[in-house]
Chain A
């Protein structure tokens, strides 16, 4: 196995499940190695001294009038769907 134990195969499987991507065994093995190295690299941030300073940028709310406007019509919006019926996106049975 890899010498760094930051990321194991089970971790990759867990993350791939959260992200809804099925992976081949080869892909999983590559990701264990690559993610391990990348995470090791980004972990250098833990050494940087930071005060609790996330809110230092002045973000202001942007408002607009609550008015109904025309938007692109449904037929056009749905035209690129892989599967549809009438004006609905069609997906496999959910419940």
Chain B
């Protein structure tokens, strides 16, 4: 048995039983990264203190002290989440050399539970993309098929979990950036409800949509990670004070009688035939086990991408104004005055897609266009939200494919709009602030297919319950 193949919860048991030490497993993960990550490129940096931190955990175990829910377990972090004294580049040249002076709240939380931060993972620059091809430091490859992208923007995190180069990872999801790469890499990814997890220390992309969430090898591991990271934080006033249940209590339940909604609008022309058939196959299996399957309609689905690229870029253009060469990161050498310092720093520091989105965001907010684009998008957004509110009056969860397609090849979507459309089944969840999970549904042509489950606000418990049930059914089949 290769210990790197173990699930987080399996490793946790071995560590607690002293069958393996945290130092052993940490060293093993690091040497595996040194060997195999040259090809996959899921990491941008590795924590030089990881082994030392693991030693501390081992000492605690020897002394018989509590080591926490993640005691001694190597966890990877997307490079837009601040970890003190480690780089946080957002895969952008503009943040090269930046070492955050504080930890994100989620980092404090997982470290308090004993996690070993093993390294920071690759991503599309500032989380702008769906393939990790927009990283300024080169793309990540999909461990399942190295000719293909791992999805994005949390492609490094998903690839690291899939390739057994960590036992769990954190990602961020603004329009599908946790769920789509999880789907492409054959792992589990959960985007929590807006407000469920603190974003303090997450480098902001679109503040009204961003959420941090876990990427793991199975649903139990997701439940464990959610137990650790959720909850109100006074440093993020959008985080909500709603009791966090023990999510592991919702595993392996008989989800019989639950009503599943299947929205017509997610099984349309243009979706990959294999993906569609696979999801329908799983849904039919659910129906056989006693779940009630109901056709529903989310009529404004098709406007999601347009709304998202207006609201998302508008917020991004404001959020990225802070990268000006004054307080941190890169500053150009080529300037005579303040204006040139700003403009040349940003020209040299930002990649192509980042400039494109900043300019687009500036356009939709500019005088004369604000009302036609930004305000209109907000209004349509409220219709998208209303679709879900109506649907959840009739069903408990909604099931869709996570992505309309299988993992695609590098360079296949050079056209920006084509890339934007790959988020079509995930963005509406962010626009409505809902929680959703992507779990592996099986393979088509040796490539993984992800199934997305969407629940009402703050019903991550129900997501875990249904996801665990489906996972068991697929395993048992």
**Is B358 located at the chain interface by the 8 A CB criterion?**
yes
Pair A38/B309 contact, Cβ less than 8 Å: yes
CA A77 to CA B307, docked complex, whole Å: 36
Residues of chain B in range 296-333 having any CB-CB distance to chain A below 8 Å: 300, 303, 305-307, 309-310, 317, 321, 324-331
**Is A86 located at the chain interface by the 8 A CB criterion?**
no
Pair B355/A57 contact, Cβ less than 8 Å: no
Pair B328/A81 contact, Cβ less than 8 Å: yes
**Is B430 located at the chain interface by the 8 A CB criterion?**
no
Number of A-B contacts (CB under 8 A): 146
CA A18 to CA B375, docked complex, whole Å: 20
CA A38 to CA B364, docked complex, whole Å: 11
Collect the chain A residues with CB atoms within 8 Å of residue B97's CB: 80
- A67 → chain B, closest Cβ, in Å? 11
**Is A44 located at the chain interface by the 8 A CB criterion?**
yes
Pair B329/A80 contact, Cβ less than 8 Å: yes
**Is A46 located at the chain interface by the 8 A CB criterion?**
yes
- A18 → chain B, closest Cβ, in Å? 5
**Is A62 located at the chain interface by the 8 A CB criterion?**
yes
- A7 → chain B, closest Cβ, in Å? 8
CA A62 to CA B238, docked complex, whole Å: 8
Pair B373/A76 contact, Cβ less than 8 Å: no
- A31 → chain B, closest Cβ, in Å? 6
Residues of chain B in range 255-309 having any CB-CB distance to chain A below 8 Å: 300, 303, 305-307, 309
Q: How many residues of A contact B (CB 8 A)?
A: 48
Collect the chain A residues with CB atoms within 8 Å of residue B373's CB: 42, 45
**Is B338 located at the chain interface by the 8 A CB criterion?**
yes
Task: Write the A3-43 contact mask toward B (1 if CB under 8 angstroms, else 0).
Answer: 00001000110011011111110010001001101110110
CA A94 to CA B441, docked complex, whole Å: 58
**Is B476 located at the chain interface by the 8 A CB criterion?**
no
Residue on A with the closest CB to B334? Answer: A22
Given contacts A20-B339, A48-B383, A64-B234, contact A82 B329 (CB under 8 A): yes
- DSSP majority for the B interface? helix
Task: Write the A66-79 contact mask toward B (1 if CB under 8 angstroms, else 0).
Answer: 00000010001111
Pair B335/A92 contact, Cβ less than 8 Å: yes
**Is B99 located at the chain interface by the 8 A CB criterion?**
yes
CA A22 to CA B300, docked complex, whole Å: 38
Collect the chain B residues with CB atoms within 8 Å of residue A76's CB: 101
Pair A21/B360 contact, Cβ less than 8 Å: no
Collect the chain A residues with CB atoms within 8 Å of residue B362's CB: 15, 18-19
Pair B359/A48 contact, Cβ less than 8 Å: no
Q: How many residues of B contact A (CB 8 A)?
A: 63
Pair A46/B359 contact, Cβ less than 8 Å: no
Pair A50/B376 contact, Cβ less than 8 Å: yes
**Is B370 located at the chain interface by the 8 A CB criterion?**
no
Collect the chain A residues with CB atoms within 8 Å of residue B394's CB: none
Pair A79/B101 contact, Cβ less than 8 Å: yes
Pair B98/A80 contact, Cβ less than 8 Å: yes
Residue on B with the closest CB to A31? Answer: B359
- B409 → chain A, closest Cβ, in Å? 21
**Is B31 located at the chain interface by the 8 A CB criterion?**
no
Collect the chain B residues with CB atoms within 8 Å of residue A23's CB: 347, 355
Residue on A with the closest CB to B350? Answer: A21
- B369 → chain A, closest Cβ, in Å? 9
Pair B330/A82 contact, Cβ less than 8 Å: yes
**Is A1 located at the chain interface by the 8 A CB criterion?**
no
Pair B360/A35 contact, Cβ less than 8 Å: yes
CA A52 to CA B347, docked complex, whole Å: 39
Task: Write the A52-65 contact mask toward B (1 if CB under 8 angstroms, else 0).
Answer: 11101100001010
17 A-B residue pairs with CB within 8 Å:
A20-B343, A21-B355, A21-B358, A22-B340, A24-B347, A31-B355, A34-B356, A39-B360, A41-B305, A45-B373, A45-B376, A53-B382, A62-B238, A77-B101, A81-B328, A82-B328, A93-B337
Residues of B within 8 A of A (CB): 97-99, 101-102, 234, 237-238, 300, 303, 305-307, 309-310, 317, 321, 324-331, 335-344, 346-347, 350, 352, 355-356, 358-360, 362-364, 366, 372-373, 375-380, 382-383, 385-386, 416-417, 420
Instruction: Pick the 5 closest A-B CB pairs, nearest first.
Output: A82-B331, A50-B379, A80-B328, A22-B343, A42-B306
